[in-house]
Every structure is written in C-alpha cells, then in structure tokens.
Amino acid sequence: MNKVLAILDGLKYNASTAEYAVHLAKQNNAYLVGLFPESALYTSYTVYDLVTEQPVEQLKAALNRRDSDRRAKSVSDFEAACRNEAIQYTVRRNGNITIKDILHESVFADLIIIHGRETFSHYNEPQPTHLVQHLLAGAMCPILVTPKIFHPFRKIVHFYDGTPSSVFAVKMLDYALPLSKDLPMEVISIVEENEARIAPDGLLMKELVKRHFKKSDFATAAGDITKEIDKYLHRQKEGTLIVLGSYGRSQTSRWLKKSLADHVIKSTNLPVFIAHCH
C-alpha cells in the first residue's frame, strides 16, 4: 500500500486537491494523509480589517472564531470524502508545520498532492507559487500538482528529455500510481531545429516504457522547445496527465529545466506529475 500526502489549506480549501487525493488513494489502495498546516500568523483577515468602530480585541476574537470554524469545516469535508470512499486516512493539523517539515515528511511518502496556487498566505501568486516551487525542487518523492477542476486520468503525456530524471519519472509513475500503467501513454521528445530528430537513448527508453506501459507511443518533434511544448499542451483534452522528469536538478537537461517546468505548470489546466533523481 502506498502513502499519499495531500497538502491542504483549511482557510482556502481546494476541493480538486482533495478529490484527486481521495480518488487516487482509493484507486491504488493507498493510505492517505491530509496535512492541514495551521498557524496563528496566517488568518483570513488582515490588519486593515481590524480598523473599524468595533473594539479591536472583540472583532479579532470574532474573526478568529470564524477562521477556526472554516478550518474545522475543511477538515470535516476531507474526512467525509475519505469515509465515503472507504479509504484509510489520517488528518494532521499543526500550527508549526514549515516547508522544511513537509520536505522531511516527503522522505516517508510515496506521493505528494498539492494545488499549483497553494500559498498558505493572504497573497495570490501565479502557479506554481514559491511554496510549490520549493516543494518541487526539494521533495524526496514525486509530486502531483493539481489544477482547479478534478478529472480522472484517461491518458498520459510524458515529455522525455533524455536525462536520468526523465527516465526515473516513468518508474515513479508506475510505482506511485500503479493503475496508470493501463492508460495510453504518449512519450514526446522535442529537439532543436539543428539537432538530429532522434531522441537520446530512444531505443533504451522504448524498451523500458513498454515494460511499464503497454499502450505507449513515441513521437519526436523539432523546433523551439517552449513553443512545441505549448502546442502539445493545447491539444490535450481533460483527463490528460502531464509527466515531467526534471525540476532544475540536472544541468545536462536540454530543456526541462526549472523555468520550463514552471512554464508547463503555468500554461496548462492539466495535472502535472514531477519526479526527479536525487
């Protein structure tokens, strides 16, 4: 049984993250941990909301009660979803959880699930947020970055760049989500115009992928890397899972470096699975 760690904000509960977590935990017979970081420094209100004619302490107490109720409802909704699907789960609510703590816990998880816009702050950021970027760069297990709306996986698109991390991602996808091996997979390698239209170690990659994903096809495209990736992303339908194998880890990667991995997450409304060698 795998262990899935879902990271959720009790004040800005993201239903799609919970839906992906519960669905994948049930589908893969996994143990699900719902992590709800809570801090007294993070509230739904700002100091400007306290500037009223009402006494500050009285208003602050009322707003804190509202936040407490909202967090409790988020946890209750998550627990209800887990019970409805009869999956094994636990909930952790802790006001002292930091990004360092989450990275440490990733050592003992098989998959982390988090929304691309998660911040645990008042501020809105484009996805992937700084929090998500830190997790992607430092996590010791694969991460599934979720979009706004949940759709079950029906197809996999893996952008293969020839690096060990790109190969490793295929193994980790099969390991973390074993039922994904029954889905059709398209392995895409993109080369610059002046490069040979041959994927690095293409034959070896085919041998490996075919052992894990029987319904796999392979394609190579030539052109500007970012533009070609965008073309593939825009052609995908709901239910497609995007797989990347690098996040700023390898200096030998020709194109899936941090900026382009960020670009993929920012440019698509599809879930993105990222795993890399350490």
7 beta partners: 35
**CA 124, 137, 165, 150: dihedral to nearest 10 degrees?**
-30
In terms of domains, do 45 and 124 share one? yes
Residues 103 and 179 in one domain: no
Residue that finishes a domain, picked among 146, 165, 190: 146
14 and 107 belong to one structural domain: yes
Nearest to residue 243, comparing CAs of 120, 122, 153? 153
Give the CATH number, domain containing residue 242.
3.40.50.620
Cα distance between residue 46 and residue 254, in whole Å: 44
Q: Helices (H), strands (E): how many in the chain?
A: 8, 10
Q: Are residues 229 and 142 in the same domain?
A: no
Q: What pLDDT tens digit does each residue of the chain (278 aa) get? A: 699 999 999 999 999 999 999 999 999 999 999 999 988 788 888 777 777 778 778 888 888 899 999 999 999 999 999 999 999 999 999 777 788 999 999 999 999 999 999 998 888 899 999 999 999 999 999 999 999 999 999 999 999 988 888 999 999 999 999 999 999 999 999 887 766 667 778 899 999 999 999 999 999 988 888 899 999 999 999 999 999 986 654 444 544 455 678 889 999 999 999 998 76
The pLDDT, as a whole number, for residue 210 is 95
CA atoms within 13 A on the CB side of 270: 27
Q: Do 57 and 141 belong together in one domain? A: yes
- Residue 262's H or E segment, with its range, is helix 258-267
Are 141 and 160 part of one and the same domain?
A: no
Residue 7 and residue 52 in one domain: yes
Both ends of the chain: CA-CA distance in Å? 23
On whether the CB atoms of residues 45 and 71 are closer than 8 A, the answer is no
Number of structural domains found in the chain: 2
Distances (CA, A) of 171 to 102, 176, 198: 23, 9, 22
Q: Are residues 134 and 30 in the same domain?
A: yes
| Helix, strand, coil content of the chain in percent (nearest 5) | 40, 20, 40
- 252 shares a domain with 174: yes
Instruction: Choose the final residue of a domain: 146, 174, 202.
Output: 146
C-alpha 78/C-alpha 143 separation (Å) is 20
For 121, the domain range is 3-146
125 in the same domain as 51: yes
Q: Are residue 126 and residue 20 in the same domain, yes or no? A: yes
Amino acid occupying residue 59: L
Q: Rg of the Cα trace of the chain?
A: 20
Rounded to whole angstroms, how far apart are CA atoms 211 and 249? Answer: 26
* Residues 15 and 136 reside in one and the same domain: yes
30: closest CA among 106, 84, 81, 86?
86
Boundary residue ending a domain (99, 115, 146): 146
Please list the residues that pair with 25 across neighbouring strands: none
Q: What is the pTM of this model?
A: 0.92
Count of CA atoms in the C-beta half-sphere (13 A) of 61? 5
Q: Which residue(s) pair with 4 in the sheet?
A: 32, 111
